[in-house]
Amino acid sequence: MRAFLRLLVVVACSLTTLSATASAAASATAAVAQSPHSGATDLAYVNHELYEVPLTEFIATVGKGDTWFDVSTDGCSAPLVGDTGRSFNFRNPCRRHDFGYRNLQLLEKRYGSGHTYWNATNRHRVDDQFHADMRASCQPRPWYERYNCLAWADTFYKVVRLAGGP
């Protein structure tokens, strides 16, 4: 039954992720304003928030809001199970993952450099960070929930690898 539920999640998440990615990029582009930012400094900031700060610090930073970067989230785009469950809570890893996808796509649109920002290599790196964040969130769980949490983390990771973009 669990395997069937996970397969159902994969299919539903794949469809939701594809539509959410397109609408997030369009709304982020509409909010772009003239500023002293550059592609290099913006990419450095996005990479810092994605890979160099602990997840708790990232959540505190994006919780303050931002008018230049897209800090919106749709959770994990998982309509059947959401981003929390009995044995897992991936709300914060999903938020950082959304930040990575949305802002790399936003940089691509802002600075028009072909596939410099949003490409398969950068997407894979964001997905790997998502996987690491989810797995780390499983560690404080009681031992009897940890296995299921890690299994869900692996399932969510496989879904984004299948349906997340380039």
Task: Kindly report, residue by residue over 146-159, the tens digit of the pLDDT.
Answer: 999 999 999 999 99
* Exposed / middle / buried, residue 17 (Cβ in 10 Å: 0-12, 13-18, 19+): buried
Q: How far apart are the first and last CA of the chain?
A: 32
Q: In this structure, which CATH number among 3.40.50.850, 1.20.90.10, 1.20.970.10, 1.20.950.20 belongs to the domain 2-163?
A: 1.20.90.10
pLDDT in tens, 59-114: 999 888 888 999 988 877 765 666 677 888 999 999 999 999 999 999 999 887 66
The whole-angstrom separation of Cα 27 and Cα 72 is 10
Query: Is residue 51 predicted with pLDDT exceeding 70?
Result: yes
Cα 117 off chain centre by: 15
Determine which of 2-6, 35-39, 146-150 has the lowest per-residue pLDDT on average: 2-6
Amino acid identity, position 162: L
pLDDT band at 115 (very low <50, low <70, confident <90, very high): low
DSSP string, the chain: -HHHHHHHHHHHHHHHHHHHHHHHHHHHHHT----S--HHHHHHHHHIIIIIS-HHHHHHHHHT--SSS----BTB--TTTTTEETTEE-HHHHHHHHHHHHHHHHHHHHH--TTSSSSHHHHHHHHHHHHHHHHHHHTTS-HHHHHHHHHHHHHHHHHHHHHS--
Per cent of the chain over pLDDT 90 is 49
Single pTM value for the model: 0.75
160's tokens: 């984004």
Give phi and psi for 118, each to the nearest 5. -100, 95
The amino acid sitting at 14 is S
Q: What tokens appear for 119 in the block? A: 């490409």
